[in-house]
């Protein structure tokens, strides 16, 4: 375990099992459909990579980068699209893959933006959900783990661009991110 980690919340094995479970559900639900999997950068990249490799269907991928955090531990409330999709999603089955849903504000903004582009379907797969932090309603089709309101890093999630490469999801020690 990394010195800055207070405890391991989800092990590498737990993450692997959940990815396989979610991929099996997605495979079944999208069989025979033209699936476009959209990764929300940067936090979702490791989860996204493992997930799409486990989905047993032909699919296409695209990437979007949005920001409302910067180097802070809470959302600024101002959402910016840093990188938009390269593909037209009209009449496509779009699956947005997210690392964690906290307040839901950033994801709500993105879903409204994507919905205006008239996809055939638009669904969300999230690895982590913090329901007690939710300030807006977000419907997820695929939900990995509901977690307590702790500041977590690893498996793509970061604090100030660090810790993404940890193979587990851990709780960051408060003294690392508190002033």
Q: Is 102 a catalytic site residue?
A: yes
25 vs 20: CA distance, rounded Å: 9
Angle at Cα 40 formed by Cα 37 and Cα 41, nearest 5°? Answer: 125
34 Cβ contact partners less than 8 Å away, ≥ 6 residues apart: 60, 92, 93
Residue 153: beta bridge partners?
Answer: 170
163 vs 150: CA distance, rounded Å: 15
Q: Which of 99, 102, 129, 158 is catalytic?
A: 102
Residue in 106, 101, 107, 110 with CA at minimum distance from that of residue 149:
101
Active site residues: 102
């Amino acid at each position: 375990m990394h010195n800055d980690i207070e405890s391991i919340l989800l092990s590498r094995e737990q993450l692997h099992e959940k990815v396989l479970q979610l991929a099996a559900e997605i495979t079944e639900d999208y069989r025979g459909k033209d699936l476009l999997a959209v990764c929300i950068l940067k936090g979702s990249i490791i989860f996204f990579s493992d997930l799409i490799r486990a989905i047993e269907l032909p699919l296409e991928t695209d990437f979007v980068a949005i920001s409302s955090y910067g180097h802070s531990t809470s959302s600024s409330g101002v959402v910016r699209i840093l990188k938009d999709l390269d593909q037209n999603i009209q009449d496509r089955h779009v699956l947005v893959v997210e690392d964690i849903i906290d307040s839901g504000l950033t994801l709500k903004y993105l879903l409204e933006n994507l919905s205006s582009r008239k996809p055939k379907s638009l669904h969300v797969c999230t690895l982590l959900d913090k329901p007690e932090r939710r300030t807006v309603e977000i419907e997820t089709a695929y939900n990995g783990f509901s977690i307590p309101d702790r500041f977590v890093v690893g498996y793509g999630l970061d604090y100030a661009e660090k810790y993404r490469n940890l193979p587990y999801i851990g709780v960051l020690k408060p003294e690392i991110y508190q002033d």
